[in-house]
């Protein structure tokens, strides 16, 4: 059994981990490398769609491996230059872009294994977001060379176009059986364990800042390798991470591939849990006056449930966007929680949004018009973020409370966006909790956000509990420090270098 980390050796490297089982091979996640995309790209400058794989390969964002869709090779990218590799399946740990963001590049005959909730979130994302080849995880139109210029790839239109699907293997049964939800993809259902293409595997739910996160154990040559994905123990589902560690210990794994995201970061005075975040946000809402805005990550449904409960207890109407509803309706097919009764949908006055809101109104969703909100802003809590600030221009009011319940800025782009957000907050006269500008710099108030990753103490507790023969850290900015502190023998990965586990 051999493992090669093609992405994820750094903390923002985008996990692309290949496991060679001898006569079989799998990828453990296949995400966007944020370090490289942040280095070369901006929101409006990305690798060109018409050049298929070529831009990504030239920028080092994809490894030069022969595992990609054949329709993504332009004429000036010979497939023969790619290193041969066997890939029989892709195990997706969760629905964050640095773990799934390049999975659409993989060949259509490579099935994707994921939890029902991860499937639900990515399905909604494919229907709501602008999807390119990198995230075409379901159906896609087969690209072809442009007439007269075969170095440029285009998607044909009309009746003659060829559409390809992809098999998904779902590791559990959704609450609601909806054939339309599965349209275009051959979704098999397992019980969290099974065999696919000759590969024996186990799937384990774990706690993370997005619902549906999974860890996996894959067997090769009699030995088990365990992959954690991203996980934590301080959220509402923290017990699932503890159960995962206890169960895989029984496998006596050869190796554990685990994230070390928070290794080397400053230790907080007090570990912030989701329960503490709930109490701090509740107090801020109760102390605030006027309109309330709750700003948190779009796919952090646990935080959404927190604010729905806070709004209900405070006697406020929780208002979300029509895009949020699309995700919630998909998620409800898995967990059965529609959340419809406690929510209103914001009637955005952007022309492209009106039809979507009207459709939701016809389906029975309650709609909040900006004029209604302006009559009594104190009765409402808006689930908005920086990207929704222009919607506030439709309202008239004098004050309010803005609760920033999101992560700190980790790069220049995020810093710039948050500084602009503070300008909007000042413009509208909000009192902001969770974020401020102090001496011209961003200052994040403790207590309004909880990390999606293991604390240092919890990390070593999980490693000790699993007790593998060796540990391979990924998603880790300080691997040497990880190795010094880890209670189990550690093997440090290098991008593109193969580690032969049988020789260790």
pLDDT for the residue 318: 95
Helix (H) or strand (E) holding 134: none
CA 245 to chain centre: 22
pLDDT for the residue 34: 86
**301, 211 in Cβ contact below 8 A?**
yes
pLDDT for the residue 336: 85
Residue 200 CA to residue 407 CA, distance in Å, equals: 37
| Structure token digits, residue 25 | 């091979």
Per residue in 218-262, pLDDT (tens digit) is: 998 889 999 999 999 999 899 999 999 999 999 999 999 999 999
pTM score, two decimals?
0.93
pLDDT for the residue 214: 97
What region, left, alpha or beta, does residue 148 occupy, with left being phi > 0 and alpha being psi -120 to 50 degrees? left
In the chain, the domains with their CATH numbers are 2-265+451-503 (3.60.15.10), 274-444 (3.40.50.10710)
Helix/strand/coil for 487: coil
Q: Give every CB contact of residue 501 below 8 A, 6+ residues apart in sequence.
A: 1, 2, 3, 223, 225, 254, 255, 470
Burial 446-485 (b: 16+ CB within 10 A, else e): ebbbbbbbbbbebbbbbbeebebebbbbbbbbbbeebbeb
Low-confidence stretches of the chain (pLDDT beneath 50): none
| Structure token digits, residue 218 | 């894959």
Residue 30 CA to residue 440 CA, distance in Å, equals: 38
Residue 306 CA to residue 315 CA, distance in Å, equals: 14
pLDDT for the residue 184: 56
CA 38 to chain centre: 17
Per residue in 119-165, pLDDT (tens digit) is: 999 999 988 877 789 999 998 999 999 999 999 999 998 877 898 98
Rounded (10°) angle between helices 301-314 and 274-287? 40
Q: What is the DSSP string of 297-317?
A: -TT-HHHHHHHHHHHHHHT-E
**198, 223 in Cβ contact below 8 A?**
no
pLDDT for the residue 183: 59
- Other Cβ atoms less than 10 A from the Cβ of 503: the count is 6
- Other Cβ atoms less than 10 A from the Cβ of 141: the count is 15
pLDDT for the residue 458: 95
DSSP 8-state code for residue 251: T
List C-alpha distances in Å: 494 to 13, 32, 163.
Answer: 12, 18, 38
pLDDT for the residue 51: 96
Query: What strands lie across the sheet with 193-196, from one edge to the other?
Result: 193-196, 199-205, 214-220, 223-227, 255-259, 470-474
DSSP 8-state code for residue 106: B
Bridge partner residues of 68 (DSSP): 106
pLDDT for the residue 39: 86
Give the CA-trace dihedral at 449, 451, 452, 453, to 10 degrees. -170
3-class DSSP string for 22-84: CCCEEEEEECCCHHHHHHHCECCECCCHHHCCHHHHHCCCCCCECCECHHHCCCCCCHHHCEC
Alpha helix (H) residue ranges in 288-408 = 301-314, 322-335, 351-362, 370-375
- Other Cβ atoms less than 10 A from the Cβ of 494: the count is 11
pLDDT for the residue 224: 96
């Amino acid at each position: 059994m051999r493992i090669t980390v093609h992405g994820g050796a750094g903390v923002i490297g985008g996990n692309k981990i290949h496991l060679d089982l001898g006569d079989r091979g799998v990828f453990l996640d296949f995400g966007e490398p944020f370090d490289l995309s942040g280095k070369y790209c901006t929101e409006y400058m990305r690798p060109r769609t018409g050049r298929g794989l070529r831009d990504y390969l030239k920028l080092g964002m994809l490894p030069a491996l022969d595992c990609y869709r054949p329709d993504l090779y332009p004429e000036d990218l010979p497939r023969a230059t790619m290193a041969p590799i066997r890939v029989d399946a892709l195990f997706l740990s969760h629905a964050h872009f640095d773990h799934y963001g390049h999975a659409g590049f993989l060949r259509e005959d490579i099935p994707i294994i994921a939890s029902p909730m991860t499937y639900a979130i990515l399905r909604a994302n494919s229907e709501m977001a602008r999807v390119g080849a990198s995230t075409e995880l379901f159906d896609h139109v087969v690209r072809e060379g442009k007439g007269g210029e075969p170095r440029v790839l285009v998607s044909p239109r009309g009746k003659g176009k060829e559409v390809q699907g992809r098999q998904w293997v779902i590791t559990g049964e959704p609450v609601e059986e909806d054939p339309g939800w599965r349209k275009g993809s051959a979704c098999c259902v397992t019980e969290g364990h099974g065999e696919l293409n000759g590969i024996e595997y186990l799937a384990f739910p774990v706690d993370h800042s997005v619902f549906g996160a999974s860890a996996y154990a894959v067997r090769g040559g009699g030995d088990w390798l365990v992959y954690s994905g991203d996980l934590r123990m301080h959220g509402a589902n923290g017990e699932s991470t503890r159960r995962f560690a206890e169960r895989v210990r029984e496998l006596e794994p050869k190796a554990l591939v685990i994230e070390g995201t928070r290794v080397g970061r400053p230790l907080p005075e007090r570990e912030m849990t989701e329960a503490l975040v709930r109490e701090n946000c509740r107090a801020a809402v109760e102390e605030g006056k006027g309109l309330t805005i709750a700003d948190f990550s779009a796919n952090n449904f646990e935080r959404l449930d927190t604010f729905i409960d806070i709004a209900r207890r405070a006697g406020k109407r929780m208002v979300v966007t029509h895009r949020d509803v699309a995700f919630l309706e998909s998620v409800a097919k898995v967990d059965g929680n529609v959340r419809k009764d406690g929510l209103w949908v914001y009637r955005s006055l952007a022309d492209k949004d009106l039809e979507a809101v009207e459709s939701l109104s016809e389906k029975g969703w309650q709609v909040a018009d900006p004029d209604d909100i302006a009559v009594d802003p104190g009765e409402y809590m808006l689930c908005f973020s920086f990207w929704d600030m222009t919607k506030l221009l439709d309202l008239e009011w004098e004050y309010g409370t803005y609760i920033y319940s999101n992560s700190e800025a980790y790069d220049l782009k995020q810093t710039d966006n948050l500084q602009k957000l503070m300008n909007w907050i000042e413009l509208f006269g909000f009192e902001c909790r969770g974020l401020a500008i102090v001496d011209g710099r961003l200052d994040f108030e403790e207590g309004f956000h909880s990390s999606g990753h293991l604390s240092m103490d919890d990390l070593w507790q999980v490693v000790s509990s699993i007790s593998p023969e060796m540990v391979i850290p990924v998603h880790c900015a300080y691997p040497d420090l990880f190795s010094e502190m880890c209670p189990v023998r550690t093997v440090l990965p290098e991008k593109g270098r193969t580690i032969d586990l049988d020789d260790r």
